[in-house]
C-alpha cells in the first residue's frame, strides 16, 4: 500500500451533526415495532434531555449500550433494518444545516467525509448514503443465523475504539490523518480529535470546552436548548420575585412587575 495521499473529515453524529441523540428516534421506531415499551421510551426521552444539556458520560453510554443489547438479543436482524426509514425520518430534520454545509465544503475541497458514531453501523451507512457522504463508522451488531446476539462483531466505536476504527479506515483508504479534520461535542471523543491534525469542538460539553480552549481548537455552537432552559429558569425566578414584590410595585404605579418587563423583552426577541 502506498503513502496516504488525501485528507478526510470525520463527524460525530449526536449533538454534532444532529441536535440531541439519534437514539431517541430508534426508540420511537422500536416502540412501533413492539421492541420497546412506552415506559422504556419515557426513560429514553429523559436520558435524551440530559444528553442535550450535559453530553454523554462513560457511565450513561455503558448503561444505554447494556439496555439496548438486552432489547435486541434474539431479535431478527431484518427487524432492525426495517426500522431504519422511520429512524432516518426523525434524524434528518434535526440535522444542523451549518454542519452539513461544512461537510460539503470539505468534499468540495477534495476531502472525503465520514460519520463516526457509537450508534448503529446501519444508521451511519444509511445516513451517509442519504447525505452524499463517503461512508460511516458505527457499532456493528453480531448476527448469528439471522438473529442479533446483543454483542458487537467489531470494535465498539467509543473513545479509543472509535479512534481505532478510524485508523483502520485511514489505512484502507490511504487517508493522511495529520491533514484531516475531526468534529465532536464530547470529551469521550478526545482520542479521535487528537488523532487528526485539525480538531473542532461542536456544542462541546464542559470538559471538551476547557480542553479546546487550552489547545486552541475551533469551537462551534448551534444547540440552543441549554440556553433556552437557562433563560426560562431566570424568568421563573424573576417571576417569583416579581410576585413577592407585586404589592409594593403596583401601589407605586410607576414600574410594571419584573416578570411583565421580562415577558415583553422575551417576546420582542
Please state the pTM of the whole predicted model.
0.76
The strand pairing partners of 139, in sequence order, are: 120
**One domain, residues 157 and 244:** no
Separation between Cα atoms, residue 223 and residue 215, nearest integer Å: 22
Whether 256 and 155 map to the same domain: the answer is no
- Counting the structural domains of the chain, the total is 2
3-state helix, strand, coil in the chain (%, to 5): 60, 15, 25
Q: Out of 14, 185, 189, 205, pick the active-site residue.
A: 14
H or E, element range at 168 = helix 160-173
- For residue 61, how many other CB atoms are within 10 A of its CB? 17
| Averages of pLDDT over each 10 residues, the chain, 269 residues | 84 94 83 77 60 55 68 85 92 96 98 95 95 97 92 93 98 97 96 98 96 97 59 41 40 38 42
Within this chain, do residues 34 and 110 fall inside the same structural domain, yes or no? yes
Catalytic residue selected from 12, 185, 189, 223: 12
First to last CA, the chain: 57
- Shared domain for 177 and 91, answered yes or no, is yes
pLDDT at residue 234 in the model: 38
Q: In this predicted structure, what is the pLDDT of residue 42?
A: 67
Range of the domain at 56: 8-220
Compute the distance between CA of residue 34 and CA of residue 138 in angstroms, rounded to an integer: 24
Q: In sequence order, which residues have a C-beta less than 8 Å from that of residue 219 and are 6 or more positions away? A: 200, 201, 202, 204, 209, 212, 213
C-alpha cell at 114: 465520514
pLDDT given for residue 253 in this prediction: 38
Query: Looking up cell 489547545, which residue turns up?
Result: 215
Catalytic (active site) residue 32: no
In a domain, 121, yes or no: yes
pLDDT value at residue 57: 59
CATH of the domain at 120: 3.40.50.1000
Joined together, the cell numbers standing for residue 225 give: 436548548
Q: What is the pLDDT of residue 216?
A: 97
The reply to whether 58 belongs to the active site is no
- Residue ranges of alpha helices (H) inside the chain are 23-32, 38-54, 58-72, 77-91, 97-108, 121-131, 160-173, 190-193, 206-215, 225-244, 246-252, 258-268
Residue 1 lies in a domain: no
Pair (149, 31) in one structural domain = yes
Instruction: Return the bridge partners of 14, or none.
Output: 18
CA 212, CA 7: separation in Å to the nearest integer? 22
Q: Indicate if 215 and 231 belong to the same structural domain.
A: no
Amino acid at each position: 500500500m502506498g503513502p496516504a495521499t488525501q485528507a478526510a473529515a470525520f463527524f460525530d453524529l449526536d449533538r454534532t451533526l444532529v441536535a440531541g441523540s439519534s437514539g431517541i428516534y430508534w426508540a420511537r421506531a422500536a416502540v412501533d415495532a413492539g421492541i420497546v415499551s412506552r415506559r422504556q421510551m419515557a426513560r429514553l426521552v429523559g436520558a435524551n434531555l440530559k444528553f442535550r444539556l450535559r453530553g454523554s458520560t462513560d457511565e450513561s453510554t455503558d448503561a444505554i449500550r447494556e439496555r439496548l443489547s438486552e432489547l435486541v438479543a434474539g431479535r431478527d436482524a431484518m427487524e432492525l433494518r426495517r426500522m431504519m426509514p422511520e429512524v432516518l425520518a426523525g434524524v434528518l430534520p434535526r440535522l444542523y444545516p451549518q454542519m452539513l454545509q461544512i461537510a460539503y465544503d470539505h468534499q468540495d475541497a477534495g476531502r472525503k467525509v465520514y460519520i463516526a458514531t457509537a450508534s448503529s453501523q446501519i444508521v451511519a451507512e444509511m445516513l451517509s448514503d442519504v447525505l452524499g457522504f463517503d461512508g460511516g463508522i458505527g457499532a456493528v451488531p453480531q448476527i448469528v443465523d439471522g438473529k442479533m446476539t446483543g454483542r458487537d462483531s467489531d470494535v465498539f466505536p467509543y473513545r479509543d475504539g472509535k479512534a481505532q476504527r478510524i485508523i483502520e479506515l485511514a489505512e484502507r483508504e490511504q487517508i493522511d490523518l495529520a491533514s484531516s479534520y475531526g468534529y465532536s461535542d464530547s470529551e469521550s471523543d478526545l482520542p479521535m480529535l487528537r488523532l487528526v491534525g485539525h480538531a473542532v469542538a461542536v456544542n462541546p460539553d464542559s470538559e471538551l470546552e476547557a480542553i479546546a480552549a487550552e489547545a486552541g481548537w475551533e469551537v462551534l455552537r448551534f444547540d440552543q436548548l441549554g440556553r433556552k432552559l437557562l433563560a426560562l429558569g431566570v424568568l421563573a425566578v424573576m417571576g417569583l420575585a416579581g410576585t413577592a414584590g407585586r404589592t409594593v410595585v403596583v401601589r407605586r404605579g410607576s414600574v410594571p412587575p419584573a416578570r411583565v418587563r421580562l415577558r415583553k423583552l422575551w417576546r420582542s426577541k
